[in-house]
Chains A and B, each alone.
Chain A
Amino acid sequence: MSEQVVTQPGGESPAPDEDRRDWAGTWRQITESSGLVVAMAIFAALVIAGLLVILVDPDVQEAAGYFFSRPGDTFAAAWEAVSSVYGAIFQGAVLNFDSSTFAGTIKPFTQTLTMATPLIFAGLGLGIGFRAGMFNIGAQGQLLIGATVGAYIGFAWHLPFPLHLALAVLGTAVGGALWGFIPGILKAKTGAHEVIVTIMLNYVALNLVAYLLTLEAFLPPGQTNPKSPIVDESAQYPLLLGSQFNLHWGFILALLCAWGVWWLMERSTLGFEFRAAGANARAARTAGMNVTKTTILVMVVAGALAGLAGSAPVLGTEKALTDQTAGSLGFDAITVALLGRSRPLGTVFAAILFGGLQAAGPTLQTVAGLRPDIVYVIQALVVLFIAAPPLVRTMFRLPVPAHEKEVAA
């Protein structure tokens, strides 16, 4: 290699660029890990979670007490513990063979897709940001503001069906876009780091919503519970598969958005600018791109998608705004975007995986009588392994990708 990287006295490149590059390197390493590594990470997470299940299972502990006289009992108990947990997860997230009706059998999977819907929206937005070099941690706040605007349009305005829904959905996007625009313009004009600004704006959004839910305009008459009125039926996503299932048209909209994001990033000139600015802002600027504009636009688009994620609860499942609307969606979506390697298709699959784990929680508790915490353990382990591709590669003896190899002479 002949490139000369020399510590120039006085350092010509401004600090924000350096900073961006360091972050970018780390994120790039994570997001560009191969699909195989992702699959292996999920596998490893399931195996280790299984071991944890075995360790804490009372039957296994009891059988282990006489391991040396009858080791078979321990293994049988361990198998029993693991299979009951993963069986319950399958039953809660994919198919329920205990049900006598077809609808009952497939209901868990429709529930998974319902849970996945907001994660797809928000994960897509975050993925765009990551690829454009913007580390947007603010999906939570953008989602909340979007949900607030959408819910308000939903319960305060009264319009005929398709129009009302369209406006409410648009409202969630606009609310999120606004909340994304703030860190975007601050970064572009003053260099304020988007990580800090978006984290802080999450708190602002959360407290703003808590405050709004004390106002008469946001509460049903005579109520003080922090829960808005139910949005009009004309502003709700219609159910996709009839009244037996919760799955609504928001899921289809999320898939359309995934296609749209793919087109934006891979086919459009705007996405080309996004990617160029993310991969090398200086080269993008030298090539005549307006990096200031790109920075703002990326945050606006990412915010709009996070805002749309807010439409899933307020216009789809819960149909009202509460101070719990966002849950941990905005943060789970970061994991989803990472797991999906910031690509639309990957994000959809990752969101379905996480949606499934969340859908399985209640089943674990009610059907198998197990603590649902194991689901969070699995999620956390997946994140852990995804964040350390070299660890996974070492564990499974996968080859090192060519671009990370030492380059000869």
Chain B
Amino acid sequence: MKLELQGITKKFGDFTANDAIDLVVQPGTVHALLGENGAGKSTLMNVLFGLYDADGGQILLDDEPRVFAGPGDAMDAGIGMVHQHFMLVPVFTVAESVMLGNEDVTGPAKLLDLNAARAKVKELSDRFGFAIDPDAVIEDLSVGAQQRVEIIKALSRDAQILILDEPTAVLTPQETDELLDIVGQLRDAGTAVVLITHKLREVKAIADDITVIRRGKVVGTAEPTASQEELASLMVGRDVSMTVAKDAADPGDPMLQVHNLTVVDGVTEITLLDGVTFEIRAGEILAVAGVQGNGQTELAEAIAGLTPTDAGHVTLDGEDITGHSIRKVLDAGVGFVPEDRTEDGIVANFTIINNLILDIYDRAPYSTRGTLNGKVLVDNAEKQVENFDVRTTSINALTGSLSGGNQQKVVLARELSRDLKLLIASQPTRGLDVGSIEFVHKRIIEERDNGAAVLIVSSELDEVYALADRIAVMYHGRIVDIVPPDTDRDTLGLMMAGAHKEEEAA
């Protein structure tokens, strides 16, 4: 089925989220909708899916104008959507989830026909190699598997147009590859796929057509053969460099020494961190690569003092900080950018002013004798918002109202406002757009050049390559090996799956 959008306009008050957008998606193709966060991609797809009423323009399916009153209409017309935030009931089984909203009944008592749903799941799962058990419970599934359930759900209603909204934002590199395989198969089976994303690598890997949206308008179309730099500058509206220029590291004395660090989960008694040993020197970036859930998060939190350790030592600039409270660790000169920004990094309901002092509020000059110095806080916020280019209407705005990139800039501004010996940053650019990623990377490298030791945890290999002076690969709570930054992707991938270089050679 061919999908055509003509002049779609959507306004929220004075704000035009979509401005006369035209888009044609041919059956059997993958059409990438590329744009930064807030460019209006999701709004456009929500209009198409009947969640928002358009203020102008029309939707054509196979050249026939259609109006959808709600998602039900859109689904009946053959449009399926996999939202960025999955719409699944955690305690339901896969089969129940797939039938939800479209329940078949059987027999005179009109009982739910679970067998039919199971069969449907099995058939689709087999056809596309999804490897999904119809009786598995949603909350037990990995994020990637949950996403496949959403896709099965859409396909089970004969979706001929499938919209995937930022599908790889939550996936590991392996899961991303699997998803791209699936998308390829769907395309070959004749489905029209709309892929909403801001990740250039995926676009180049799978898309047949590319439409770039910026500030609610189509700013151009591109061929998949275009370079990442070309796509990025279309998206951002200025030239961006995909890899921030950085000089070779000039490492000094060892700043952070971690010896035999071990963390055992108190409840499950699973060893999360298994005798990890490494050191980072002043003026050096060590990036920890690995599939999520292999102990990287625990490593960062154990060093920061958020997770209690069971064995081993952490030494910062010659001082033993093992088992110190996070408070003491921060005071010792550590900056910590947590992995989960909204949960751990900021207080969404606080103003930017207050989030900028969240861990320095009780030291001079921000407060004296238990009293906050309002003037200093305001000056500090004005200075930091300018230095870190935080896009906001006011320093009094609630931090939760900012985009992810600007929230992360607030966290970075706060952590870098102290003199640091060590900066720990977990997934520093997760969910950020290209422009913000460039900015964050620049700042991290600056901190290194100022002589801090930097520990980066990232599940994005691009980020690891962009920042690392050395790369540590983690698997099952251990460091597989620490390798130079010119190690190729395949080798890293194998190490992330647990294969050791030497073992392989042997």
Q: Is the CB of B12 within 8 A of A403?
A: no
B residues in contact with A116, CB < 8 Å: none
A409 engages B41 (CB within 8 Å): yes
Interface-located stretch among B32-40, B243-251, B479-487: B32-40
> Which residues of B lie under 8 Å from residue A288 when comparing CB positions?
325-327, 330-331, 359
- Measured CB to CB, the closest approach of chain A to B300, in angstroms, equals 11
A7 touches B342 (CB 8 A): no
B130 an interface residue at 8 Å Cβ cutoff?
A: no
Residue A345 interfacial (CB < 8 Å): no
- Count A/B pairs, Cβ under 8 Å: 128
Asked if A7 contacts B138 (CB within 8 A), the reply is yes
Tell me whether B64 is interfacial, beta carbon within 8 Å. Answer: no
Interface pair A6/B143, CB less than 8 Å apart: yes
Contact B431 A279 (CB under 8 A): no
Interface residue total, chain A, C-beta cutoff 8 A: 36
The answer to whether A283 and B371 have CB atoms under 8 Å apart is: no
A residues 169-211 near B (Cβ < 8 Å) are none
Give CA–CA (A186, B331) in the complex, Å.
29
Contacting residue for B361 out of A7, A269, A286, A290, CB 8 A: A269
Question: Are B146 and A7 neighbours in the complex by a CB distance under 8 Å?
Answer: yes
Query: Interface-forming stretch among A50-58, A159-167, A270-278, A368-376?
Result: A270-278
Interface residue? A34 (CB, 8 A) = no
Interface 1/0s, chain B 89-130, versus A by CB < 8 A? Answer: 010000000000000000000000000000000000000000
A15, CB-defined interface residue at 8 Å: no
In this assembly, does B318 line the interface, its C-beta being within 8 Å of a C-beta of chain A?
A: no
Does A272 lie within 8 Å of B372, measured CB to CB?
yes
Q: Is the CB of B41 within 8 A of A280?
A: no
Q: A13 CA to B362 CA in the complex, in Å?
A: 28
Q: Is the CB of B146 within 8 A of A283?
A: no
Q: Give every chain B residue within 8 A of A272 (Cβ-Cβ).
A: 354, 361-362, 372
User: Are A283's CB and B347's CB within 8 A?
Assistant: yes
The answer to the question of B88 belonging to the interface, with a C-beta cut-off of 8 Å to chain A, is yes
Interface residues contributed by chain B, number (CB under 8 Å) = 64
Contact among A3, A8, A269, A286 with B362 in the assembled complex (CB-CB below 8 Å):
A269
Q: Does B201 contact A (CB under 8 A)?
A: no
The answer on a CB contact under 8 Å between B358 and A276 is: yes
A134 CB to nearest B CB, Å: 16
CB of B166 within 8 Å of the partner chain: yes
Q: A269-B372, A279-B348 are in contact. Are A8 and B343 (CB under 8 A)?
A: no
A408 interface residue, CB < 8 Å from B?
Answer: yes
CB distance from B451 to the nearest CB of A (A): 23
Cβ-based interface call for A20 (8 A) = no
Whose C-beta in chain A lies nearest to the C-beta of B143? A6
Interface: B84 (CB within 8 A): yes
Give the shortest distance, in Å, between A289 (CB) and chain B (any CB): 8
| Residues of chain A from 216 to 263 with CB closer than 8 A to chain B in the complex | none
Contact B347 A269 (CB under 8 A): no
The reply to whether the CB of B43 lies closer than 8 angstroms to some CB of chain A is yes
Complex CA gap A4/B171 in Å reads: 11
The answer, among B362, B370, B372, B431, for a CB contact under 8 Å with A2, is B431
Interchain CB contact (< 8 A) of B326 among A6, A286, A403: A286
User: Which chain B residues numbered 346 to 373 have a C-beta less than 8 Å away from chain A?
Assistant: 346-350, 354, 358-359, 361-362, 367, 370-372
Q: Name the distance in Å between B316's Cβ and chain A's nearest Cβ.
A: 15
Selected A-B contacts with CB under 8 Å, 22 pairs = A1-B37, A3-B341, A3-B342, A4-B170, A5-B85, A6-B85, A11-B139, A267-B374, A268-B372, A269-B362, A270-B370, A272-B372, A280-B346, A280-B349, A283-B347, A285-B306, A286-B345, A287-B359, A288-B330, A290-B325, A408-B17, A409-B41
Instruction: List the 7 closest pairs (A to B, CB-CB), nearest first.
Output: A287-B359, A288-B327, A409-B43, A408-B17, A287-B358, A2-B37, A286-B344
